[in-house]
Structure 1
Amino acid sequence: MRGPAVTATTSIGLAEAIDPLVVALDVGSTGTRGGVYDATGRPVRGLRHKVPHAFTTRPDGTSEIDPAQVLREVADILDALDDSRLGARVRGVALDTFAASLVGVDAAGTAVTACLTYADSRSAAHAAALREELDVRAVHDRTGTMIHPSYHAPRLRWLAATAPDVARSSSWWSLGEYVYFHLLGTTAVGTSTAAWTGLLDRRTGAWDTELLEATRTSPERFSPVHDPGAPLTPATGAVARRWPTLAGAVWFPVVSDGFASNVGAGAVDATSIAAAAATSGALRVLLDAPPEKVPDGLWSYRVDAGRSLLGGALNDVGRAVTWLSETLRIDGTRGAVLLAEPSATTPLVLPYLSGERAPGWAGDARAVLTGVGAATTPDDLYRGTLEGVALTYARVADRLAPAAPRADRIMASGRVAKDLPEWLQILADVLGRPVTHVTARRSTLRGTALIALDVLAPGVARSSPETGATYEPVAGRSGYYADRGARFAALYDALVRG
């Protein structure tokens, strides 16, 4: 049993750090990050590095990134963290990446496709065709996922149609596997990363036979699935030669950022829901066993031999904020606008800039703005869009509540929560539940370190994540947001579901 949590700390000096140390790496939507953490889960001051990047997007639904670029970013971060002061104290290296990444590779491990991200929607037509061919409810029950462009089955169909030579000859890796192969000479897919493909049986942890047959592929074209508690050993000595401080470290199977985010935010059991609010977003609860039934519109990912993550994801959270800032040429945040009393003149916005995931899974959905008139101001559009983002969380929360009845805490983390904490008041008002701001920086990176530390230092007390204000729902606003939610649903049904 682990001891009681130690006091939360933003960072500590290397001399204060408790061994063993872990290097954690996080490949997100806006950059690759890395840092050193001690056995309590506290970041070590001065040993942190980031390399920014951006997805390539196009109007046809393209959302991709060059896997070789990410490999270089990870190597650059490890170069920056290879500090001789660490000596032999680093005992583990752990990596998370954005979920549902797909890279086609040849027999030498060379990428023959770009890395498709979770937001790539070019396979929407193939997803629709698969939904006609297969029993959607049965697939959802077995895999815990929907048939949607965010997952591999439609993408593999699309690649077979658009690049048949590539599709016939490739193996299919996640972005993290590609990075590991070129650094370590070996690879394995972590359980949670495999689950996010949409091809894994959520109960058994085996690849789903029916979906593989439907995509004309086989298990041999995927890496072996490893639980996060089973470290890897590099197949070559190149790591030790390039990064001497990592010579004695084991490397952990790549995990999904969603799993790491929950752990880093402190939402580690069925009493807490993590509200992630970064470029994309999600509501997730970590359960000790697979749910008997996955609620319609939500997903359930197997994350290790026992636990499952239940919830729903949103494509456009920080992406909506960035779009607003660039389109409306807003300089700075609009905190006062978000804290103002709600107004019936605020535009109603369906904020689907890059398609919808949970709960409706309309991959080709696009944003809709209504109630815009000659008197509408940039502040009105700003408020309306961020109310719309909160309403998309509410649509997930309504499905999640019956399956997680003990979850009475909502822990909000991520870039949007950090940059716009005032928006958490809108989220609390919309959800009708208190929302606690997790102020700890890089909670996903911290979660990745903690998952490795559960193996390397199981008896060491962990630090608790730093938290800020808890936003209580304002009772007088419930009617306004109930009306907004009903109008949102009606507009969604009319224009998106059509």
Structure 2
Amino acid sequence: MDILALDLGTSSVRGLVLDERTEPVPGALARRKMRLAVGNDGTGTLDGPGYLACLVECLDELQAGGHLRDVGLVAVSAQWHSVLPLDAAGEPLGPVLTWLDTRPEPPAGRSGPADPDAFHQRTGAWWHRCYWTARLPWLRARTPVARFVGLAEYALGALLGAVPMSVSQASGTGLLDLRALDWDAEACELAGVRAGELPALAPAGWRGRLSPEFARRWPGLAGAAWSEPVGDGAASNVGSGCVDPRRAAVTVGTSAAVRLIQRAPAGVPLPPLPERLWRYRVDHDHVVTGAAYSSGGNLFAWAKRELRLPEGAELDAALDRVPVDAGVPADPRFGGDRPPGLAPAGSGKLHGLTFSTTSVEMLAGLMAGVCARVAGDLAEIESTVEHPVEVVLGGGAVTASAWWRRAFAAALAPRTVGHQPNPEIGATGAALVALGRLAEAADLTGISRTDDRRSPWPAGGSRP
């Protein structure tokens, strides 16, 4: 049986087919880039119908290539925190607010949780613009909303019919009681949300099926079971082989994050949560604790474009001449803070520029700035397990830059730091969760030294 893995990301939507060992089937990959609308006012949105159309195109491409004929299971990795307001007919009333949108604020004159620390321990979140506690009132003040969904529920609902929200996706809203696995009453009150305005929560082991219309369109998927979506950060941890307290994952894709997974079945008391860290659900049996940053690969892409940096091997060679601790001092918060921080978009800075400062030194400073923020929060994560952890780097941006991997290794020393070069860690992780094989991820092969310059797997091919 093959597995179709869908990655509903911020910068792209992808579909790829994996074999029963969760290894990529050669050539069975379809990808569409997404245009994220950003603005100086903190806007960070996606067009919902346009996103759905790109997902359909990916599946059309895979069907036309004959890649769906043996698929028995569909696994989904999807971005956390997104929200889309719908009317009574289920049609979008505006764009999708992504994690990058910093415009929502808690309503003026309203107080927050009665006990902020207890609220944080219970939901893993804060009363913050990133979460639905602040986003839903902000959206309701602008449009007559009938109900709210995330991007995953909108896209999958169009293909399968009404779908519930996984506990993993629900945990990213900031409205879920992580222990009880139900909507938190106080969080819903803060959000001003009424009965019927939130999606139903998926039970453990939920499976969906394509609607008759799309089953006819993609006959290879007509009999396939669809698994509940996994939050993209949790899926990346699993795909990186970081599924227990021995290893933390540092992932740099469009954004960046550092995370650690612990076993925590429903109803069992959760480990204490440090004030600076968030906590979400991987599934009904595991939580993931960490910190995230609005700058990652998007920062690298901005610098390459605006600083007119060289390409490919020429840029690698130029970075090689800059020691990992010798870049321009920088604050990489171009997109503002992720929770619990409140810095707005446009908070990035470069310090100490002179007439001899080069564009490559500016880039190196920005990249090193991300490393420093990760190092500080990793120390907080280690306090939850009371021992140092190994670190595995992953994600497209860090895979593309040997210099960035060396900079992370230096910033995170003396910890052991490795690199998982699989370009599809999110899709691989979602497949392992859907198959009930999360624990097997600890034995994933392919983790290499941070100074390796090439992935051991051919582009578009499978692992040896």
Give the TM-score normalised by the residue count of structure 2: 0.89
Which ranges of structure 1 fall in alignment gaps of 5 or more residues? 1-19, 473-498
Residue number in structure 2 paired with 1:449: 431
The answer for the alignment partner of 2:406 in structure 1 is 425
Aligned residue number for residue 238 of structure 1: 213
Give the one of 225, 238, 250 matched to 1:263.
238
Question: Map of 1:102-141 to 2, 5 A cutoff?
Answer: 102-123=83-104, 125-126=105-106, 134-141=114-121
**Structure 1 residue 203, shift from structure 2 partner:** 0.9
What is the letter of the counterpart of residue 204 of structure 1?
A
Query: Once structures 1 and 2 are overlaid, which stretch shifts more, 142-151 or 33-42?
Result: 142-151
Letter in 1 for 2:230: V
> Counterparts of 1:95 and 1:262 in 2: how far apart (Å)?
14
Between the aligned partners of 1:279 and 1:144, the Cα distance in structure 2 is 23
Cα deviation, residue 343, structure 1:
8.3
The 10-residue stretch of structure 1 (51-60 or 458-467) with the greater mean CA deviation from structure 2: 458-467
343 and 69 in structure 1: CA distance in 2 versus 1, 3 angstrom threshold: closer
Residue 72 of structure 1 and its aligned partner are, at CA, apart by: 0.8
Given the alignment, which residue of 111, 114, 134 partners 1:154? 134
Give the Cα separation in 2 of the matches to 1:133 and 1:451. 33
**CA, structure 1 residues 228+28, in 2 after alignment: closer, same or farther (shift >3 Å)?**
farther
- Which region of structure 1 is more displaced relative to structure 2, 75-84 or 43-52? 75-84
SS in 1 for 2:56: helix
Equivalences for residues 308-319 of structure 1 within 5 A: 308-319=287-298
Q: Which has the higher helix share?
A: 1
Residues in 2 aligned to 1:202 and 1:446: alpha-carbon distance in whole angstroms: 25
Query: Which among 434, 442, 447 is matched to residue 416 of structure 2?
Result: 434
Between the aligned partners of 2:439 and 2:368, the Cα distance in structure 1 is 43
How far is the alpha carbon of 1:410 from its aligned partner?
Answer: 0.9
Q: Separation in 1 of the partners of 2:71 and 2:325?
A: 56
Q: How far does the alpha carbon of each residue in 1:411-431 deviate from its partner, in whole angstroms, 9 at most, with x for none?
A: 111111111122111111111
Q: Is 2:279 the partner of 1:304?
A: no
Q: 1:133-186: per-residue Cα shift (whole Å, max 9, x none)? A: 65322221110012222211111121233x1x42xx321101010011111112
Q: Give the SS at the match of 1:51.
A: strand
Aligned to 2:457: none
| Residue number in structure 1 paired with 2:303 | 324
Give a deviation string over 1:329-373, Cα, whole Å, max 9, x none: 112254345445648874211110111125635345611222222
> Residues 275 and 411 of structure 1 are in contact (CA less than 8 Å); yes or no, is this contact kept in structure 2?
yes
Find the residue that maps to 1:113 and give its secondary structure. coil
Change (3 A) 1:406 1:114: same
CA–CA separation in structure 2 for the residues paired with 1:331 and 1:311: 34
Residues of 2 paired with 1:383 and 1:84: CA distance? 41
Q: Residue type matched to 1:438 in 2?
A: Q
Q: Distance in 2 between matches of 1:459 and 1:301?
A: 18
What are the Cα deviations for residues 389-410 of structure 1, in whole angstroms up to 9, with x where unaligned?
A: 1111112112111113456321
- Runs of 5+ consecutive residues of structure 2 not aligned to the other structure: 453-464
Q: Report the counterpart of residue 56 of structure 1 in structure 2.
A: 37
Identity of aligned residues (%): 31
Matched letter for residue 434 of structure 2? A
Distance between the aligned counterparts of 2:13 and 2:451, measured in 1? Answer: 31
Secondary structure class of the residue paired with 1:320: helix
Mapped to 1, the partners of 2:397 and 2:254 lie a distance apart of 8
Say which of 3, 23, 33 aligns to 2:4. Answer: 23
CA distance in 1, matches of 2:33, 2:76: 17
CA distance in 2, matches of 1:38, 1:103: 33
Offset, 1:466: 2.3
Tell me how far apart the structure 1 counterparts of residues 328 and 107 of structure 2 sit (CA, whole Å): 32
- The equivalent of 1:367 in structure 2 is 348
Following TM superposition, by how much is the alpha carbon of 1:129 offset from its aligned partner in structure 2, in angstroms? 6.3
1:257-406 to 2 correspondence within 5 Å? 257-289=232-264, 291-332=270-311, 334-340=315-321, 342=323, 346-357=327-338, 360-364=341-345, 366-406=347-387
CA pair 380-88 structure 1, distance change in 2 beyond 3 A = closer
Task: State whether residues 79 and 243 of structure 1, in contact with CA within 8 Å, keep that contact through their aligned partners in structure 2.
Answer: yes
Q: 1:288 to 1:365 in 2, by over 3 A?
A: farther
> Matched residues in 2 for 1:332 and 1:111: separation?
40
Q: 1:92, 1:249 within 8 Å by CA — same for their partners in 2?
A: yes
Aligned partner of residue 48 in structure 1, secondary structure: strand
- Which residue is 1:15 aligned to? none
1:413 maps to 2:394 = yes
Query: Is 112-121 or 359-368 further displaced after alignment?
Result: 359-368
2:319–2:360 contact (8 Å) kept in structure 1: no
User: 1:388 & 1:35 partners in 2: Cα distance?
Assistant: 33
2:206 is equivalent to residue 226 of structure 1? no
Q: 2:208 and 2:161 mapped to 1: Cα distance?
A: 11
Question: In 2, are the aligned partners of 1:144 and 1:202 still within 8 Å (CA)?
Answer: yes
Assess if the C-alpha contact under 8 Å between 1:265 and 1:465 holds in 2. Answer: no
The range that moved more, 249-258 or 213-222, is: 213-222
Contact 1:55 1:65 in 2 (8 A): yes
> Residue 403 of structure 1: SS of its match in structure 2?
coil
- Between the aligned partners of 2:89 and 2:332, the Cα distance in structure 1 is 42
| Residues 338 and 453 of structure 1: CA distance in aligned 2, closer, same or farther (over 3 Å) | same
Question: How big is the shift at 1:313?
Answer: 0.8
